[in-house]
């Protein structure tokens, strides 16, 4: 799968009739197997961008090119589980054709096997987030969207969930987009880092990270974060791989 995005602008009008520009220059491309991470300040338009990419918002200037029959898996900022359905039923509602072996494998990777008959009200936030991940991967997505999936989690749990996402993505050639405001999340997970300006959002830097996720040590991560800091402190927009 290939995703080509060229959004010249996105705006809306308030109840008073005043125009508010949200996006103003978002152009990038990604292919299956790549993880693209969007990092930007709160309120810059990241969630609006995701709605456009999924086809939920078609009121914008520009073009989006992707396979129309692509299966989309999405993990929202909140788990959004049906409280009257068990963990297993929540996942099966999203992927009714999933077989028992695949579902059991998915629950095993996400350490949910002991919770498949529990209800959302019986789960911690971390477990509920894992169920949301299971639901997204159960559809065997071609296009996976993660909207601040680690928000409000403690650091240790966030790192564990990062590892779980890496494992799941590694087992399937899926095009992934992650939205976050946390540089650690971005550098540990991304193959391409897109830094966004304040609203109206535009891409101010597109940084490629050539080192595989499995071999990114703390020194490598620190170096990339330092480079990001240079861009966010006024660097000019350009595309380049890390270290060049």
Contact call for residues 54 and 28 (beta carbons, < 8 A): no
C-alpha span between 121 and 142 (Å, rounded): 30
Compute the mean pLDDT over every residue in the chain, rounded to the nearest whole number.
86
Contact call for residues 138 and 103 (beta carbons, < 8 A): yes
Which tens digits make up the pLDDT trace of 64-113? 998 888 899 998 888 899 999 999 999 999 999 999 999 998 898 888 99
Which tens digits make up the pLDDT trace of 45-56? 888 999 999 888
**Before 200, cis peptide (omega within 30)?**
yes
**The pLDDT value given to residue 243:** 47
Closest CA to 206 of 52, 79, 86, 40: 40
Q: Could you tell me the pLDDT band of residue 237, with boundaries at 50, 70 and 90?
A: very low
**The pLDDT value given to residue 244:** 44
Say what the pTM is. Answer: 0.84
Q: What percent of the chain has pLDDT over 90?
A: 44
Q: How far apart are the first and last CA of the chain?
A: 28
C-alpha span between 130 and 124 (Å, rounded): 10
Q: Compute the average pLDDT of residues 129-151.
A: 89
**The pLDDT value given to residue 115:** 96
C-alpha span between 26 and 31 (Å, rounded): 17
Q: Compute the average pLDDT of residues 209-234.
A: 79
Q: How many helices (H) and strands (E) does the chain have?
A: 7, 11
**The pLDDT value given to residue 95:** 94
């Amino acid at each position: 799968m290939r995703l080509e995005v060229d959004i010249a602008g996105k705006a809306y009008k308030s109840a008073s009739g005043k125009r508010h520009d949200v996006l103003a220059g978002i152009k990038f491309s990604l292919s299956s197997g790549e993880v693209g991470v969007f990092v930007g300040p709160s309120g810059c338009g990241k969630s609006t961008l995701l709605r456009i990419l999924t086809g939920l918002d078609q009121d914008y200037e520009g073009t989006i090119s992707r396979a129309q029959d692509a299966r989309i898996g999405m993990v929202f900022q909140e788990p959004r589980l049906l409280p009257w359905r068990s963990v297993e039923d929540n996942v099966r509602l999203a992927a009714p054709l999933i077989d028992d072996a695949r579902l059991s494998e998915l629950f095993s990777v996400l350490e949910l096997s002991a919770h498949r008959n529990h209800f959302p009200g019986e789960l911690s936030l971390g477990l509920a987030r894992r169920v949301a991940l299971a639901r997204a991967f159960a559809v065997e997505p071609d296009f996976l969207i993660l909207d601040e999936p680690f928000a409000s989690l403690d650091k240790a749990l966030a790192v564990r969930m990062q590892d779980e996402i890496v494992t799941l993505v590694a087992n399937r050639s899926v095009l992934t987009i992650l939205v976050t405001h946390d540089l650690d999340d971005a550098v540990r997970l991304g193959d391409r880092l897109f830094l966004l300006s304040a609203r109206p959002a535009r891409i101010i830097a597109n940084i490629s990270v050539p080192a595989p996720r499995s071999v990114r040590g703390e020194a490598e991560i620190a170096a990339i974060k330092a480079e990001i800091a240079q861009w966010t402190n006024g660097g000019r927009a350009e595309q380049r791989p890390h270290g060049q």
